[in-house]
């Protein structure tokens, strides 16, 4: 069911001191569409990579591999920087024996299992979210995810195990999981091709959410936090995408990593100041967001950033993007506490701390 035409794309573009032969070369593997893609595009278009390099007194050229295969591209050594969550890092590091440095945060885990509104898995029909999950498992109904390497797949295992006593695993799990294109998920649920699809307003499901055709059973950024900590926190955990690099690369290229971080932060602050004007500044930006029209782009901003609900969708509790790339002491501590608690429950590697470090700028 992999209908995502962008699934294997590795379109390449560059930013920074692109004509300088003395510049440090850095390859970043990044998803091609979504909030993260908009921020990367904004940083490039505004010249933030070059500006940050000048401020830090260094030179760097960044080559971007725009691909949904960003995690395997990075783990195979074909990229220096990637964007995946610390929860994924806590598994990848020990299992691949790769020391990983987390140097920023990008977006919280803005995914939810979407079901058809009024359909047989709608909690209003089943009696509640747990009843819907039970029915999905009992019916062996198709549950769509973008890939097993995605942050949502890892987090579903935590959420399902802690809340509903089910495992969400590629082998030996309780759900009938299929892979589908991230940005086709909403339509496939609305059309009945999938019983459940992991998606969100910024992941191509905006048209179906706007029309009231689909709804989330829950948001991972809410449920995972509550499951592990027993209460919600401001942003929810885990983070869907952190800025990560190999620790060896960081140690040898600290200034280049800081350039990347500062450029992302500048782009994020510009976006947070007036997200609607950024997302709708051109057709190219609307498409980079993954929206099919300016109307969809406005819904994505108003629902995901301004936290405005609709007649059929309650307003979300947490925004779809962070207010800063910086990782505060509290953030690092909460993230580490989260990973420790998850490890205690056998849902990630207990020795994750030997492989994952957080560096704050």
- pLDDT tens for 37-94 read 899 999 999 999 999 999 999 999 999 998 888 888 999 999 999 998 888 899 999 9
pTM metric for this prediction: 0.84
Strands 100-108, 176-179: pairing is unpaired
**Per-residue burial over 70-102, b = 16 or more CB atoms within 10 Å of its CB, e = otherwise:** bbebbbeeebbbbbbbbbbbbbbbbeeebebbb
How many Å is the maximal CA-CA distance in the chain?
A: 64
pLDDT reported for residue 2: 30
Round to whole Å and give the CA distance between 170 and 176: 9
344 by DSSP, 3-state: which? helix
pLDDT reported for residue 60: 92
Cα of 193 vs its chain's centroid, Å: 24
Strands 176-179, 214-216: pairing is unpaired
pLDDT for 175 beyond 70: yes
Who wins on pLDDT, 48 or 319? 48
What secondary structure letter does DSSP report for 309?
Answer: -
Residue-wise DSSP of 261-297: HHHHHHHHHHHHH-HHHHHTS-HHHHHHHT-SSHHHH
Least confident of 8-17, 60-69, 207-216, 346-355: 8-17
**Are 247 and 345 within 8 A, CB to CB?**
no
What rounded mean pLDDT belongs to the chain?
A: 88
- pLDDT tens for 114-157 read 999 999 999 999 999 999 999 999 999 999 998 887 778 878 88
pLDDT reported for residue 238: 64
116 by DSSP, 3-state: which? strand
- pLDDT tens for 239-281 read 778 999 999 999 999 999 999 999 999 999 999 999 999 999 9
- pLDDT tens for 286-303 read 999 888 899 999 999 999
Q: Tokens 């350039």 sit at which residue?
A: 259
3-state helix, strand, coil in the chain (%, to 5): 45, 20, 40
């Amino acid at each position: 069911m992999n209908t995502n035409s962008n699934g294997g794309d590795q379109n390449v573009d560059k930013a920074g001191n692109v004509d300088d032969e003395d510049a440090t070369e850095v390859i970043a593997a990044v998803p091609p569409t979504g909030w993260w893609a908009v921020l990367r595009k904004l940083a490039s278009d505004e010249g933030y990579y070059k500006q940050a390099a000048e401020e830090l007194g260094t030179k760097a050229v960044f080559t971007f591999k725009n691909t949904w295969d960003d995690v395997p591209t990075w783990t195979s050594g074909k990229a220096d920087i990637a964007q995946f969550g610390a929860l994924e890092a806590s598994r990848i590091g020990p299992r691949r024996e790769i020391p990983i440095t987390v140097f920023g945060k990008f977006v919280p885990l803005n995914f939810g299992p979407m079901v058809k509104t009024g359909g047989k898995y709608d909690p209003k029909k089943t009696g509640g979210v747990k009843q819907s999950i039970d029915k999905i498992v009992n019916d062996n109904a198709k549950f769509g995810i973008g890939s097993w390497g995605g942050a949502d797949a890892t987090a579903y295992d935590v959420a399902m195990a802690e809340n509903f006593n089910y495992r969400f695993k590629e082998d030996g799990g309780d759900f009938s999981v299929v892979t589908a294109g991230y940005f086709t998920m909403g339509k496939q649920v609305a059309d009945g091709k999938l019983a459940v699809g992991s998606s969100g307003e910024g992941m191509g499901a905006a048209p179906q959410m706007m029309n009231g055709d689909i709804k989330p059973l829950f948001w991972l950024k809410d449920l995972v936090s509550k499951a592990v900590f027993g209460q919600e926190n401001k942003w929810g955990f885990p983070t869907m995408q952190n800025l990560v690099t190999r620790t060896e690369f960081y140690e040898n290229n600290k200034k280049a990593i800081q350039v990347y971080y500062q450029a992302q932060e500048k782009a994020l602050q510009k976006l947070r100041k007036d997200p609607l004007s950024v997302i709708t500044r051109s057709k190219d930006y609307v498409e980079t967001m993954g929206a099919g029209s300016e109307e969809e782009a406005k819904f994505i901003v108003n629902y995901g950033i301004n936290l405005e609900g609709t007649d059929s969708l309650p307003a979300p509790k947490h925004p779809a993007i962070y207010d800063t790339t910086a990782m505060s002491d509290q953030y690092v501590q909460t993230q580490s506490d989260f990973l420790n608690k998850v490890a205690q429950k056998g849902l990630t590697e207990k020795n994750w701390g030997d492989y994952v470090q957080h560096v704050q700028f």
